[in-house]
Amino acid sequence: MRIVLGVTGGIAAYKAASVLRGLRERGHAVRVVPTEAALRFVGAPTWEALSGEPVSTTVFEGVEDVEHVRIGDEADLVLVAPATADLLARARAGIADDLLTATLLTATCPVVAAPAMHTQMWFNAATVDNVAALRARGWTVIEPASGRLTGADTGPGRLPEPEDIIRAALAATGRSAAPGPSGPGSSAADPPAVPAAAPRAEHTRADGDGPLAGAAVVVSAGGTREPLDPVRFLGNRSSGKQGAALAAAAAAAGADVTLIAANVDSGVLADLPATVAVEHVSTTAELEAACTAHVTSADVIVMAAAVADYRPAAASDHKMKRTGEDLTIALVENPDILRGLVDLRDAGRARTGQLLVGFAAETGSQEQSAESLAQAKLLRKGCDLLVFNDVSGDRAFGRDDNAVVVYRPGADGAEAVARSTGTKAAVSNDVIAAVAAELSR
C-alpha cells in the first residue's frame, strides 16, 4: 500500500518516526511530507533515511512531475501524525500553501489525522468546529490521548502511541495493522484486508487469574453520533454504563481488556481498572474501524454500544439556521458492525475461535414482543451470544440497574443461557460468566 505520512510542527513529531518505521515493517511504501515547522523538530535526513524516499515541503520542487497533485492522487492512505490545530484549521478551510496541504486537497483515498496539541487548544471552539467539519467530510480524526503534555501540564491532547495510530489508520482503509514482511526482498504490495487468523494459544497473559485469564476481550460502549452540522448530531440515549461495567467485569475475570468508548462521559470511565485500555470513537464508521482493527487479536468482542442505524447523507460545514420552513434530512444506512464481524470470522479472517457477543435493546411493537425481536436478531446476526434488555418505559438507559436475558443459538431457535437482574455491575458479572462458559464449550 502507498502511504503518505504528513508530519506537522509539534513536539510530538519525534513519535512519527516510530509510526513510519512501523508502517515500513508492515511492508508499506511511505512518503513523508512534513511541514517546514516539522523539520525544526525532526530533520529531513531522518525522514529520508527511514522512508527511503525524498522529502520536500514545497510545491516548487519536483515541478516537472506535478508532485503537488501526484503524491495525493497516487496514495492509498494519507496519515497526518501529529496533526496540529493549525493543520486542522488549514485543511478545513481548503488552504494549500505547502506540499502537505496540497496533497490533502488532491487525495481521494482515506485521510486519517492524529491530533496533538495543548488541552485548551483541543477543546477550543474553533478546533472542535474544524474537527467536526473534517469528520463530516469523511476524515478519520483520532481522539488524542490523555497524559503528560509539554511542560508540567497534563490532559487530553497527547499524541496516541505509534501502534495505536497505525492500527486506527490501517483500519480506516479496511486493512489490518498486523506486522508484515519487511527488509530486503520484502514486497510493498497491499496486504489482505484482514490477515489470516492467529490461534488463541498465541495470546497469553502472565498476570491474569480467573475464568477469562489469558483472553483478549474487546468491549464497545456508549452510543455513536452522526453529525448533522458542527453543532448537532443524530444519537441515542446510551450512557455507556453497562459497557464500562462489562469491561470492568472482564478485567476482574482475568482478561486483557480494551474498551472502545463511543461518546462516554469521563465520569463513567473514572472507576475502570487501570489495566483496561480505552479507545475513544464518535461515529459509527469510527467504531467499525476500531472494532475491525481487533478482529485478528481479540478472543471475545462484546458489542454493547448503541450504534446509529442511519446517518445523514450529507452534513453541513456550518451550523444550520432556522428558515421558517420544514426541514427534510436524507438518511443513509450505516454498516452493520456486528454482522460484518461475523462475516469476517466466517471467512477465516478473524482470530480462531473468536466469540462474538451482541446486544439487543428492544421496546417491542404491536406485532412482536421485545423478547421475540431479540431472539430473531440473534439468529439474523449470527453471533454466538446475544444480551437482551427491554428498554421500553424509560428502562435501562442512564440508570444504574438493568435486567437482561442472555441467548445463544439452539436447535429450536434462541435458547436462554442466563438471566440477570440488579445493578449493572452485578448484571455484568453474570454476562461475563456466560461468556466464559461459552468460550470454554
Of the chain, the percentage scoring pLDDT greater than 90 comes to: 52
Residue 6: phi, psi to the nearest 5?
-85, 135
Given a contact cutoff of 8 angstroms between Cβ atoms, the answer to whether 278 and 259 are in contact is yes
Residue 143 in this model has a pLDDT that exceeds 90: no
Residue 184 in this model has a pLDDT that exceeds 80: no
Integer Cα distance of 195 and 349 in angstroms: 6
pLDDT value at residue 154: 66
What are the residues facing 423 on neighbouring strands?
401
Beta carbons within 10 angstroms of residue 338's beta carbon:
24
Quick one: residue 394, left, alpha or beta (phi over 0 = left, psi -120 to 50 = alpha)?
left
Question: Which residue from 389, 387, 302 is spatially nearest to 341, judged by alpha carbons?
Answer: 302
Integer Cα distance of 196 and 179 in angstroms: 12
Q: Which CATH class is domain 2-172?
A: alpha beta
Residues of the chain with CATH 3.40.50.10300: 200-314+326-439
Cell numbers of 148, please? 503528560
Given a contact cutoff of 8 angstroms between Cβ atoms, the answer to whether 218 and 300 are in contact is yes
pLDDT value at residue 190: 35
Strand pairing report for 413-423 and 401-410: antiparallel
Integer Cα distance of 435 and 171 in angstroms: 26
pLDDT value at residue 227: 92
Distances (CA, A) of 286 to 138, 212, 235, 360, 433: 10, 27, 14, 21, 29
> pLDDT tens digits, residue range 228-281?
988 899 998 889 999 999 999 999 999 999 999 999 988 899 889 989 999 999
Residue 32 in this model has a pLDDT that exceeds 50: yes
Given a contact cutoff of 8 angstroms between Cβ atoms, the answer to whether 332 and 311 are in contact is yes
**Which one is catalytic: 130, 236, 402, 429?**
236
Specify which of 49-63, 155-169, 245-259, 321-335 reaches the highest per-range mean pLDDT.
245-259
Cell numbers of 324, please? 421558517
Residues of the chain with CATH 3.40.50.1950: 2-172
End-to-end Cα, the chain, rounded Å: 40
Cell numbers of 19, please? 509510526
Integer Cα distance of 104 and 64 in angstroms: 20
More confident residue, 339 or 183: 339
Handedness of CA 421, 423, 426, 430 (dihedral sign): positive
Residue 23 in this model has a pLDDT that exceeds 90: yes
Integer Cα distance of 56 and 31 in angstroms: 10
Beta carbons within 10 angstroms of residue 228's beta carbon:
20
CB contact set of 88 (below 8 Å; sequence gap of 6+): 113, 115, 127, 130, 131, 134, 141
Mean pLDDT of the chain: 85
Question: Which residue from 125, 129, 121 is spatially nearest to 155, judged by alpha carbons?
Answer: 121
Mean pLDDT of 36-48: 91
Question: What is the band of 404 on the pLDDT scale with cuts at 50, 70, 90?
Answer: very high
> pLDDT tens digits, residue range 281-312?
999 989 998 899 899 899 999 999 999 999 99
Fold of 200-314+326-439: Rossmann fold (3.40.50)
Asked about 236 being catalytic, the answer comes back as yes
